[in-house]
Amino acid sequence: MTDVLLKVRGLRTVFETRAGRVCAVDGVDVDVRRGECLGIVGESGSGKSVTFASVMGLVKSPGRIEAGSVEFDGQDLRRLTPREMRAVRGRDIAMTMQDALTALNPALTVGEQLGEVLEAHDETLPKRGPARRAAIRRTSVEMLGLVGIPSAETRLRQYPHEFSGGMRQRIMIAIALACRPRLLIADEPTTALDVTIQAQVLELISDIRARLGMSVALITHDLGVVAEHCDRVMVMYAGQVVEEGTTAEVIGAPKHPYTQGLLASIPRPALRGQPIHPIEGQVPDLIDLPPQCRFYSRCAVRREACLTPVEMRSAGASRRARCILTGEDDA
């Protein structure tokens, strides 16, 4: 058994828009290992969410996956039918969205929403009758307890709008975890929350990961969050991975000038969760990108050789960066 649970290779996802063809994800490789927390970091628009929406089979028109493979525990997800893919979502891989309020159904109580997920995916439930209903109720109460929501019996009868922002995030996590997925994709679980609640939600995810032994892919803008919660990190820029390695390696000695810029701008704790604008200039327009290093226009150490396409280079056993200054002597 390999220790890689999710293995993505050469993923390319494009959006056909009136302005042209937007290549949001361009040749991305991802490995999420069993039991680890992988951080995915990068500025807004770098392709983090689209990468994982592609993994989940949730890219909507005008977007489509143009190339690449997505393997989960050895199974090629791109070959599954929509019905088979629906079974994978929830049972094996769950995703929490950036905005809990829009992810939850306002017309159903929390108990009904948890129940729906359990009905669809929990194969351990009794087949029918009162025993089935009682088991669903028991598991729902247990899930709310797991995410730290007190008075679960009462809370199950309430609607999403009756909860605070932080509580809604917890409910979304409870629903995502209801069927004990092996991989949780947590997309910016914290941006809309105040600092204390952010920390609590991230602690909660780390704690549940340790208890359930699941893997987590944590999508964030914030390298401070990565430093605290992730084993490894992957840095994205303009639709590509530009650096990856263990958190200690990447944060301790970043190779790519973009990662260096991100680190230099780590917000002070009080400012966590704020958008970062660390480096002069902007992410390039993803339509008609020139065939050069995508960071060229913002890079303080650019040189002529960077005007040709730059591939990922190895900088150690598990360490890679997309910069010509990543020397072989690192390996």
Q: How far is the CB of 51 from ligand ATP (least distance, A)?
A: 7
The nearer residue to ligand ATP, 37 or 219, going by C-beta atoms, is: 219
Rounded to the nearest whole angstrom, what is the least distance from the CB of residue 241 to ligand ATP in the complex? 12
CB 175, min distance to ligand ATP, A: 21
- φ, ψ at 213 (rounded to 5°): 65, 30
Least distance CB 47 / ligand ATP (angstroms)? 4
Residue 95 to residue 173: CA distance in whole angstroms? 9
User: Residue 113 or 220: which CB sits closer to ligand ATP?
Assistant: 220
Compute φ and ψ for 94, nearest 5 degrees.
Answer: -125, 150
Q: Which one, 109 or 191, has the nearer CB to ligand ATP?
A: 191
CA dihedral sign, ordered 33, 227, 219, 166: positive
Q: Which two tokens stand for residue 319?
A: 């360490």
Place of tokens 């009758």: 129
Please enumerate in sequence order all residues whose Cβ is within 8 A of that of 91, keeping only pairs 6 or more positions apart, or say none: 121, 179, 181
Of residues 12 and 132, the one with the C-beta less far from ligand ATP: 12
Q: How far is the CB of 265 from ligand ATP (least distance, A)?
A: 15
Instruction: Report in angstroms the alpha-carbon separations of 230 from 32, 41, 74, 119, 215.
Output: 11, 11, 24, 32, 11
Residue nearer to ligand ATP on the CB measure, 203 or 285: 285
Binding site for ligand ATP (CB under 6 A): 15, 17, 22, 24, 42, 44-50, 63, 221, 286
